Amino acid sequence: MLNISKIDISNRVEESKFNTLNKVENRTSKKAFIRFLYVISIVSLVLLFLPWTQNIRTNGNVTTLKPSQRPQTINSVIPGKIEKWFVQEGDFVKKGDTIAFLSEIKDKYFDTSLMSRTENQMNLKSSSVESYKSKVMALQSQRVAMEELRGLKIQQAKNKLLQAKLKAQNDSNNYQASLANYAAAISQFNRTDSLYRDGLKSLTDLENKRVKEQKAFAYKIEAQNKWLASQNEIINAQVELSNIKVKFDSDIAKINSDIYSTLSTQFDSEGTVNKLMNELSNYSFRNDLYYVKAPQDGYISSLIYTGIGEMIKEGDPLVKIMPTQYQLAVELFVAPIDLPLLKVGQKVQIQFDGWPAVVFAGWPNASYGTYSGHVYAMDMFLGENGKYRILVKPDSTDISWPNALMYGGGTNNMILLNDVPVWYELWRNINGFPPDFYSKKTQTNLNEKKK
């Protein structure tokens, strides 16, 4: 009953006849409820002091650790026309297997004998280079012979000059002797003339002395002419020596000019040979590019061009291939505010799409169906989606990731941070504070500084 009135009728009513009234008046339910509240309060109080792992929740997808293990697009290096396909979508190919064959569309490469003709041109130019080398060697030999001949001719001219000088010296001595002889003849003639006038010498003696004087004078003139001629011979020998040097220097300079001209032509021919060799190598390499080959083992996921006879441009994609050998990783994205909380090696709990899990974000050890990993790398630039990309590698010390995982699958990730009490985490979320930024080591250093 409600017992609103002050008049008590409990002693007037037989409660045993009313079951509902007996249940209402029973005080046992009230005590049980009070006990329940006590238990709930105690349990809640205990839960508030349990450890809670702070975490950052984010989505991601399955990827591979190395770029070479991710899906690749095979492009055509050269323009061409698709002549034949050797694969279809879903086929498995090994490294080096032919995927498609292309034909040429540029008129520059239409000649079927292009390589042989280019090789023939290269051989002819190579022979021309050898001819120029032989010509250079012949000119060099000619220059050596010319230099030897120049030395002999110069030595011969020097000897001739020396002979002319010796002859001039001899003629000079003869000329001096003729002068002395002429002076003696004049003196004798004058004495004889004086004695003749005195009557001491005959006219015959005087005439003999006159004749001797005339002969001495003639001898003096002849000796003087020879001496002057010898001096002219010296000058001629010097001129001849100079002419020899000039002539041979001119001839050797002409030979050197021919050598340099031949070397220039030789180098030009060698450059042409190298250019032809480069073209021949390019033609050979281009012939291999007609066959599009698989860069590694994998599965053909899609054909971008499907017809025969379709024209493709240089660099156009042909097929997409998924490698068979890859090392899985998870690619996740975090907000810029959470990036300072992360570091390489930090633990991450991952829930893969298709693998059901019972997740307790704060109690990762109690989560079922999640897999462990650790941060392998972090991008230092903001992505197009306004977040930073994080790569997570499998944790080798924990349960292995499922073998059936495929590239591109979705994930739900929990990046684990510090362990704090539950009450602290509730207080942090109520106040909107970020997770603890400082590590234990940093906090210890700060406490030491404060002390």
* Tens place of pLDDT per residue across the chain (451 aa): 455 656 665 566 565 666 666 666 655 556 677 778 888 888 888 888 888 776 778 888 999 888 888 888 999 888 999 999 999 888 999 998 999 999 988 888 888 888 888 889 999 999 999 999 999 999 999 999 999 998 898 899 889 889 888 888 888 888 888 888 888 888 888 888 888 787 777 778 778 888 888 888 888 888 888 888 888 988 988 999 899 889 999 999 999 999 999 999 999 999 999 999 998 998 888 888 899 999 899 999 888 887 788 888 888 899 999 888 888 899 999 888 778 778 888 888 888 887 766 665 555 555 556 788 999 999 888 888 888 999 999 988 888 888 878 888 888 888 877 777 878 778 777 876 666 654 444 444 444 544 4
pTM value is 0.56
Q: From CA 24, how far away is CA 343, in angstroms rounded?
A: 63
The CATH number for 50-68+326-450, chosen from 3.30.70.370, 3.30.1490.20, 3.40.50.460, 2.40.30.170, is 2.40.30.170
Judge contact between 401 and 371, C-beta under 8 A.
yes
Determine the pLDDT at residue 261. 92
The token duo for 33 is: 């409820």
Dump strand ranges (E) for 225-316: 291-293, 298-303, 311-312
The token duo for 72 is: 């690749």
Q: Provide the greatest CA pair distance for the chain.
A: 229
Estimate to the nearest angstrom the gap between the alpha carbon of 437 and the chain centroid.
42
- CATH 2.40.30.170 residue spans of the chain: 50-68+326-450
- CATH 2.40.50.100 residue spans of the chain: 71-104+290-322
The token duo for 132 is: 């120029």
Determine the pLDDT at residue 361. 56
Number of residues that make up the chain = 451
Q: Is 209 exposed, middle or buried (0-12, 13-18, 19+ CB in 10 A)?
A: buried
- CATH 1.10.287.620 residue spans of the chain: 114-289
Determine the pLDDT at residue 99. 92
Judge contact between 410 and 59, C-beta under 8 A.
yes
Determine the pLDDT at residue 444. 45
Judge contact between 1 and 20, C-beta under 8 A.
no
Superfamily classification of domain 114-289: Helix Hairpins (1.10.287.620)
Q: From CA 438, how far away is CA 341, in angstroms rounded?
A: 8
Q: Identify any residues that bridge with 349 across adjacent strands, giving them in sequence order.
A: 372, 414
Q: Is 310 exposed, middle or buried (0-12, 13-18, 19+ CB in 10 A)?
A: exposed
Determine the pLDDT at residue 20. 66
Determine the pLDDT at residue 260. 92
Which CATH code is given to the segment(s) 71-104+290-322?
2.40.50.100
Q: From CA 376, how far away is CA 372, in angstroms rounded?
A: 13
